[in-house]
A and B are shown apart, each in its own frame.
Chain A
Amino acid sequence: MFAYIIKRLLTGVVVVVLVSMAVFALLWYGPESPARPICVQETSNRCTDERLANFEESMGYNNPIYVEYGKYAKGIFVGREMALGGNTIQCDAPCFGFSFRSRALVWDELIERLPATISLAIGGATLYLLLGIPIGIAAARRRGTLGDKLLVSSFLVISSIPYYLFALVAWLYCTLVWDLPVLGDSGYTPLLDNPAKWFAGLLLPWLCLGIFNCTAYTRYTRGAMVESLSEDYIRTAKAKGLPARTVVYKHGLRSALVPVVTIFGIDLGILLAGTIFTERIFEIQGIGLWGLRAVGSFDLPVISATAMFGAIVIIVSNIIVDVVYGVLDPRVRVS
Chain B
Amino acid sequence: MASPEDTARVGRHTDQSGKSPEAPNATVAAQFQDSATEDPHDVEASYASFGELAKQGHTAAVLDPTAEPVIAVEDLKMYFPVRSSGLVRRTIGQVQAVDGISFEVPRGGSLGLVGESGCGKSTTGRLITRLYNPTGGSMTFGGQDIAKLSQRQMKPLRRDIQMIFQDPYTSLNPRHTVGAIVGAPLAVHDIVPKKQILGRVQELLEVVGLNPEHYNRYPNEFSGGQRQRIGIARALTLNPKLLVADEPVSALDVSIQAQVINLLQDIQREFGVAYLFIAHDLAVVRHFCPEVAVMYLGKIVEIGDRESIYSHAHHPYTQALLSAVPDVKQAVIGGRRERIMLEGDVPSPINPPSGCRFRTRCPLAQDICARHEPPLLQIGPRHKAACHFAGEIGRHPVTPVTPRLLGTDDHGNADPGATPSTELTTQAGYSDTWFDLDKKTFGRA
Contact = CB atoms under 8 A, between A and B. Distances in A.
A6 B87 CA distance: 8
B298 to A, nearest CB: 25
B85 interface: yes
Interface in B63-111: 85-87
Q: Which label, helix, strand, loop or mixed, suits the secondary structure of the B interface?
A: loop
Classify chain B's interface size: under 10
A335 interface: yes
Contacts of B87: 3, 6-7
A334 interface: yes
A66 interface: no
A77 interface: no
A4 interface: yes
A7 B87 CA distance: 6
Contacts of B85: 3-4, 334-335
Interface in A1-29: 3-4, 6-7
B135 to A, nearest CB: 26
Contacts of A334: 85
A335 B86 CA distance: 9
Classify chain A's interface size: under 10
A41 B445 CA distance: 106
Nearest to B89: A7
Nearest to A4: B85
A3 B85 CA distance: 8
A297 to B, nearest CB: 44
A97 to B, nearest CB: 34
A6 B86 CA distance: 10
A331 to B, nearest CB: 15
A7 B85 CA distance: 11
A5 to B, nearest CB: 11
A30 B86 CA distance: 42
A4 B86 CA distance: 7
Nearest to A10: B87
A164 B174 CA distance: 40
Interface string A294-335: 000000000000000000000000000000000000000011
A334 B85 CA distance: 8
Interface string B302-339: 00000000000000000000000000000000000000
Interface in B237-261: none
Contacts of B86: 3
Nearest to A7: B87
A335 B84 CA distance: 10
B85 to A, nearest CB: 6
Contacts of A7: 87
Nearest to B86: A3
A7 B84 CA distance: 14
Contacts of A6: 87
A4 to B, nearest CB: 7
A173 B86 CA distance: 57
Contacts of A335: 85
A4 B88 CA distance: 10
A305 B87 CA distance: 30
Contacts of A4: 85
Nearest to A6: B87
A118 B87 CA distance: 33
Nearest to A334: B85
A335 B85 CA distance: 7
A332 to B, nearest CB: 12
Nearest to A335: B85
A35 B427 CA distance: 79
Contacts of A3: 85-87
Interface string A226-240: 000000000000000
B67 to A, nearest CB: 47
A7 B88 CA distance: 9
Interface in A39-78: none
B121 to A, nearest CB: 26
A159 B85 CA distance: 42
Interface in B25-79: none
A334 B86 CA distance: 10
A9 to B, nearest CB: 11
B20 to A, nearest CB: 45
A4 B84 CA distance: 12
A3 B86 CA distance: 6
A58 B87 CA distance: 45
A6 to B, nearest CB: 7
B84 to A, nearest CB: 10
B234 to A, nearest CB: 32
A220 B86 CA distance: 34
A53 to B, nearest CB: 50
Interface in B106-138: none
A6 B85 CA distance: 12
Interface string B151-177: 000000000000000000000000000
A334 B87 CA distance: 12
A2 to B, nearest CB: 10
A244 to B, nearest CB: 32
A334 B84 CA distance: 11
A224 to B, nearest CB: 23
A152 to B, nearest CB: 26
Nearest to A1: B85
B93 to A, nearest CB: 15
B90 to A, nearest CB: 12
B348 to A, nearest CB: 16
Interface string A243-272: 000000000000000000000000000000
Interface in A260-300: none
Interface string B269-291: 00000000000000000000000
A334 B89 CA distance: 13
A196 B86 CA distance: 49
Given A3-B85, A7-B87, A335-B85, 5 more contacts: A3-B86, A3-B87, A4-B85, A6-B87, A334-B85
8 contacts: A3-B85, A3-B86, A3-B87, A4-B85, A6-B87, A7-B87, A334-B85, A335-B85
Nearest 5 Cβ contacts at the A-B interface: A3-B86, A3-B87, A7-B87, A334-B85, A335-B85
